[in-house]
């Protein structure tokens, strides 16, 4: 049983479901989700289609955590491509401890509610394809 620290509104869950069903043909797609500290509710901050990892990293805050729901373009060793859904817990080292703790406490609930089992922690502030590929088993 996980304690629910943050509210995930129905419209966010509906958007995640639509995002999951979206057809992808090139690059990654991402939804950047933030927690409103005053209301303790999650909300979509930005949405990207066909974005490269380095471009996505440029869009993420340098001093604040975020959840990034990503349809990630994964190229397998045999040349096949798949688009697994992953949650990236973006927590740059300059994030406040209070915010990092809030996001970390909401992670399990968000993963369960969004039905995405693959969660990657990125705490060094760098999104690297090689690292993500390795963690996803490519």
Residue 4 located in a structural domain: no
Its sign, for the CA torsion 76, 127, 51, 136, is: positive
Residue 99 located in a structural domain: yes
Residue 3 located in a structural domain: no
Phi, psi values for residue 46, rounded to 5°: -150, 160
CATH of the domain at 128: 3.40.20.10
Q: In sequence order, what are the residues at sequence separation of 6 or more whose Cβ sits closer than 8 angstroms to the Cβ of residue 69?
A: 16, 19, 30, 31, 33, 85, 86, 87, 114, 116
pLDDT at 76: 86
Residue 23 located in a structural domain: yes
Residue 123 located in a structural domain: yes
Residue 88 located in a structural domain: yes
CA atoms within 13 A on the CB side of 5: 14
pLDDT at 7: 95
pLDDT at 22: 81
Looking at the structure of the chain, the number of domains it has is 1
Burial of residue 38 (number of CB atoms within 10 Å: 0-12, 13-18, 19+):
exposed
Residue range of the domain that includes 111 = 10-135
pLDDT in tens, the chain (138 residues): 445 679 999 999 999 999 988 876 667 899 999 999 999 999 999 999 988 888 999 999 999 999 999 998 888 889 888 888 999 999 999 999 999 999 999 999 999 999 999 999 998 878 888 888 888 886
Residue 1 located in a structural domain: no
Supply the pTM of this predicted model.
0.90
DSSP notation for 87-118: EEEE--TTS-HHHHHHHHHHHHHHHHHHT---
pLDDT at 101: 93
Name the CA dihedral angle for 1, 18, 73, 65, rounded to a multiple of 10 degrees: -50
Q: Is 4 helix (H, G, I), strand (E, B) or coil?
A: coil
Residue 114 located in a structural domain: yes
């Amino acid at each position: 049983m996980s304690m629910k620290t943050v509210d995930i509104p129905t419209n966010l869950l509906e958007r995640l479901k639509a995002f999951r069903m979206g057809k992808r043909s090139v690059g990654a797609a991402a939804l950047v989700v933030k927690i409103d500290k005053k209301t303790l509710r999650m909300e979509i901050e930005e949405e990207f289609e066909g974005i490269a990892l380095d471009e996505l990293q440029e869009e993420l805050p340098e001093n604040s955590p975020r959840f990034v729901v990503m349809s990630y373009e994964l190229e397998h060793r045999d040349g096949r491509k798949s688009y697994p859904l992953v949650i990236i817990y973006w927590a740059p080292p300059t994030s406040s401890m209070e915010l990092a703790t809030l996001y970390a406490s909401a992670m399990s609930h968000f993963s369960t509610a969004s039905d995405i089992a693959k969660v990657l922690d990125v705490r060094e502030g760098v999104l690297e394809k090689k690292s993500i590929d390795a963690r996803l088993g490519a």
